[in-house]
Chains A and B, each alone.
Chain A
Amino acid sequence: SQQGEEDPQALSIQEGENATMNCSYKTSINNLQWYRQNSGRGLVHLILIRSNEREKHSGRLRVTLDTSKKSSSLLITASRAADTASYFCATDARGSARQLTFGSGTQLTVLP
């Protein structure tokens, strides 16, 4: 079953702007991961943040994690048209044998 919700469901921005996506989850986690999926394709792993971490950066990506609120955010700075894709958060819950539970996803469209 779906663990979490993401918002917004869809986001449309102009190239160069920043995009922020949020993810909420329900149970205690080992880590939270963000993935990207282009239409009809597999998933690409973007970044993993552990439960004892609060913020992580990778290139133009910035992820935050607030375990007290059971929420995470993904910020993409200086967006490009090629960033257009669906973005999913996934949680690795404690005791889950490394199973991932995916959020509902955010469809990001970056307009040139």
Chain B
Amino acid sequence: GAVVSQHPSRVICKSGTSVKIECRSLDFQATTMFWYRQFPKQSLMLMATSNEGSKATYEQGVEKDKFLINHASLTLSTLTVTSAHPEDSSFYICSASGPGGETQYFGPGTRLLVL
């Protein structure tokens, strides 16, 4: 099956710093990538949808200036959490789908802890 990787797998940073998370589709071209956030013992909440070469579409309540998304190629999307605060601590998961693909393939997630 299709493989999606994320890097880093976990990151600890100080409040006020910016953190970049990478999401890569390893063996297929991902026309669309999705970013989710998951708090402990909760479900996944979609943050934004990103299509290669165009601006991301953010869900209601997600600040686009705080969560910068770049989908510069068909195999890479990045999420940058700018000026991170403790309340941004969460598990961030990306997924990717190919052209016309019904199935989303999920990355292993990145655990962010902001001190």
Q: Taking beta carbons and an 8 Å cutoff, which residues of A are in contact with B?
A: 1-2, 30-31, 33, 35, 40-45, 48, 88, 92, 97-105
CA distance A55 to B15 in the complex (A): 49
| A-side contacts of B67, CB under 8 Å | none
Binding site for A on B (CB under 8 A): 1, 4, 6, 32, 34, 42-46, 49, 57, 60, 91, 93, 95, 97, 101-109, 111
Q: Which residues of the other chain, B, contact A102 by a CB distance below 8 angstroms? A: 43-45
Asked, given contacts A99-B49, A102-B44, whether A45 binds B102 with beta carbons under 8 Å apart, the answer is: no
Asked if A88 contacts B43 (CB within 8 A), the reply is yes
Task: Give, as a whole number of angstroms, the nearest-CB distance from A99 to chain B.
Answer: 6
A33-B42 Cα distance, complex, nearest whole Å: 18
With both beta carbons as reference points, the residue of chain B lying nearest to A105 in the complex is identified as B43
Instruction: Provide 19 A-B residue pairs closer than 8 Å at the C-beta atoms, listed in order of the A residue.
Output: A40-B109, A40-B111, A41-B109, A42-B4, A42-B106, A42-B108, A45-B1, A45-B104, A45-B106, A88-B43, A97-B32, A98-B102, A99-B46, A99-B49, A100-B104, A102-B44, A102-B45, A103-B43, A104-B43
